[in-house]
């Protein structure tokens, strides 16, 4: 939307430094008895980071703290993402890098998938879904745990376009399945959240 693009451009032209480092929190592979202090740091350009509303909010709030004129920041900004695992961060960065690379430096060509509601069939076959977006979600969906963690991470960093893609792929996996089949397809989700049983009956 026009407002969405305006918000991204405003962030990209803000006081933020040219480089932003996104820091993932706990390791996605850590078990209950393992350390969860593993961190992954990924440096991205400001224009890429600004596709995440969590970064837009930092730019806006610190600009207001500086009286609306924070000036040009030097060096690097670290953005800690404690609820994002390293694999999800890599996929998030891949998503924003692809968008900015395709859009160009002025973001004029920025495009997002348009996902119909409800889905009429497989996500990849919907006419409004971009090929690069479908490929990213296919990669995440190779492992359901990865897809679920990416969905949570996209929500945490407030990247609504990526969250829509994740949610649509999960919806696709549920189409035509009975409650029993859903339980069998997502055993880990039901083990972690017993209330889901009541929601799908």
Question: pTM (2 decimals)?
Answer: 0.81
The full DSSP string for 109-167 is T-------SS--S-GGGSTTS-HHHHHHHHHHTTSHHHHHHHHHHHHHTT-HHHHHHHH
Confidence of residue 192 (pLDDT cuts 50, 70, 90): low
Q: What is the DSSP letter of 124?
A: G
Whole-number pLDDT of residue 178: 83
Task: Report pLDDT digits (tens) over 15-50.
Answer: 888 899 999 974 444 444 444 467 899 999 999 999
Task: Report pLDDT digits (tens) over 105-153.
Answer: 778 888 999 998 888 778 888 889 999 999 999 999 999 889 999 999 9
Give yes or no for residue 201 having a pLDDT over 50: yes
First to last CA, the chain: 37
């Amino acid at each position: 939307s026009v407002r969405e693009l305006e918000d991204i451009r405003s962030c990209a032209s803000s006081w933020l430094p040219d480089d932003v480092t996104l820091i993932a929190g706990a390791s996605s592979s850590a078990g209950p008895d393992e350390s969860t202090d593993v961190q992954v740091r990924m440096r991205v350009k400001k224009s890429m980071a600004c596709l995440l509303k969590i970064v837009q909010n930092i730019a806006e709030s610190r600009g207001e703290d500086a009286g609306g004129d924070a000036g040009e920041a030097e060096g690097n900004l670290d953005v800690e993402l404690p609820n994002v695992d390293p694999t999800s961060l890599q996929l998030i960065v891949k998503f924003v890098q692809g968008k900015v690379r395709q859009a160009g430096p002025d973001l004029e060509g920025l495009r997002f998938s348009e996902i119909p509601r409800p889905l009429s069939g497989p996500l990849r076959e919907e006419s409004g879904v971009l090929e690069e977006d479908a490929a990213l979600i296919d990669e995440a969906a190779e492992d359901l745990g990865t897809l679920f963690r990416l969905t949570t991470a996209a929500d945490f960093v407030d990247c609504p376009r990526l969250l829509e893609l994740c949610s649509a792929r999960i919806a696709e996996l549920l189409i035509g399945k009975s409650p029993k089949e859903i339980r069998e397809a997502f055993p880990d989700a039901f083990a972690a959240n017993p209330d889901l049983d009541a929601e799908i009956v």
